[in-house]
Structure 1
Amino acid sequence: MDDATLALALAKRRISAIVIGASAGGVNALIEILPGLPRAFPYPVLTVLHVMRARQNQLVEVFSQRLALRVEEAVDKGEPVAGTLYFAPADYHLSIEADRVFSLSLEPPVHFARPAIDITMETAADVYGPELVGILLTGANHDGAAGLAAIGRAGGLTVVQDPAEAQVSVMPNEAIRLRAPDLVLPLRDIRRLLQLSMENLQ
């Protein structure tokens, strides 16, 4: 997709946060779309990956070595800060409270996942409304489809990785089936969309 079409999707849109969900294949997908974003990136990036507890700290370390963005694990009552990539801690659901701080919980898994993408996306949609960008990437279950639909209903921009290039297409296909997203893009275009979002500050 050309820059003009991507820019049109962002036109006149105020952005306060970006939320990304992924499961199987998600680490490689993130490594493709996030490098190149500067430390001064004007939004927090809230990320939920289905990972085992033992791997969570490794994710922070691995991405810190590859990105200009600060990389942190979200902490309870922490405030999302621009220019920072936050990972949901393993085995905790990550919610966004009305006062725009993180909340961690041990509620039952959703779609066999904790953290669940749906919980983060749905609560972020409630808080940020049309100022939220939701991105759903490769994955092997239905987690994230309902969350992305909630972002769309709230007026946020919804983006799904093209299932044809996803390592596992179940998650993006379910999101598309449940509610048509604003954009279905290959990873190279999602990366470009994030870059162009910096030029769209209101």
Structure 2
Amino acid sequence: MNNRFDAIAIGGSAGSLAVLTDILDSLPHQLRPPVVIVLHRLRNVQSEMGRLLSTKRKIVEPEDKEPVKEHCIYLAPQNYHLLIETERTFMLDYSELVNYSRPSIDMTFSSIADVYGERALGILLSGANKDGAEGLCQIIAAGGTGLVQDPRTAAFEAMPQSALEMCAAVKPLSIEDIKKFIIGET
């Protein structure tokens, strides 16, 4: 089992739901690091995203000041930026949109870089804008690891391609290789 990371952050937008579900369904129940998911979704429409993502594992939308726990999968609540504070608690933020989005992948990734540093893994999936690219570069700059879905396999390549263009240390992988990387097989 992979023990290189204390937190795994996954961001995605257009075209990422199916691949994210595939990744989540492949995760072993004993995976220790918390998984924090940020998906772009409509702000003012009732969302059942947590129910749609996976049937094998429970996915929680964290409350403000809730502690980040191991073995849990978290989903950024609709219409809030999800940040992690230095005491490893969640903070919900209702500030301005970032890259036209709230929740912003960049903001979550940036806070994870600050808190977890070299023990952070950031993964950016399919999406139609550049949100997440800067945050993924911050994870790498803090000594963590940054992966993107190979843009050639993404339904919308803008998001992973932006990260590759912004940060040379980003690794493009197939979804199968991302799953293997998370559990420590590569």
Cα distance between partner residues in 1 of 2:25 and 2:180: 11
Report if aligned partners of 1:70, 1:83 keep a CA contact under 8 Å in 2. no
Q: 1:130 aligns with which of 104, 113, 118?
A: 118
Residue of structure 2 in register with 1:149 after alignment? 137
1:39 shift after superposition: 2.2
Structure 2: which 5+ runs fail to align?
A: none
Cα distance between partner residues in 1 of 2:46 and 2:134: 26
Residue of structure 1 in register with 2:165 after alignment? 177
Residue of structure 1 in register with 2:183 after alignment? 195
Q: How does 1:11-160 map to 2 (within 5 A)?
A: 14-53=4-43, 54=45, 56=47, 58-65=48-55, 67=56, 69-160=57-148
Structure 1: which 5+ runs fail to align?
A: 1-6
1:182 shift after superposition: 4.0
What is the root-mean-square deviation in Å for CA atoms of aligned residues?
Answer: 1.8
Report if aligned partners of 1:50, 1:115 keep a CA contact under 8 Å in 2. yes
Aligned partner of 2:75: which letter? F
Report if aligned partners of 2:163, 2:170 keep a CA contact under 8 Å in 1. no
Report if aligned partners of 2:24, 2:54 keep a CA contact under 8 Å in 1. no
Q: TM-score, normalised by structure 1?
A: 0.86
Cα distance between partner residues in 1 of 2:111 and 2:84: 5
- TM-aligned CA distance change 1:55 to 1:159, over 3 Å: farther
Q: How does 1:157-172 map to 2 (within 5 A)?
A: 157-172=145-160
Cα distance between partner residues in 1 of 2:142 and 2:113: 6
Cα distance between partner residues in 2 of 1:45 and 1:111: 23
Cα distance between partner residues in 2 of 1:87 and 1:135: 14
Report if aligned partners of 1:160, 1:181 keep a CA contact under 8 Å in 2. no
1:64 shift after superposition: 4.4
Cα distance between partner residues in 1 of 2:134 and 2:37: 16
1:55 shift after superposition: 5.1
Report if aligned partners of 1:32, 1:188 keep a CA contact under 8 Å in 2. no
| Segments of 4+ moved more than 3 angstroms | 53-56
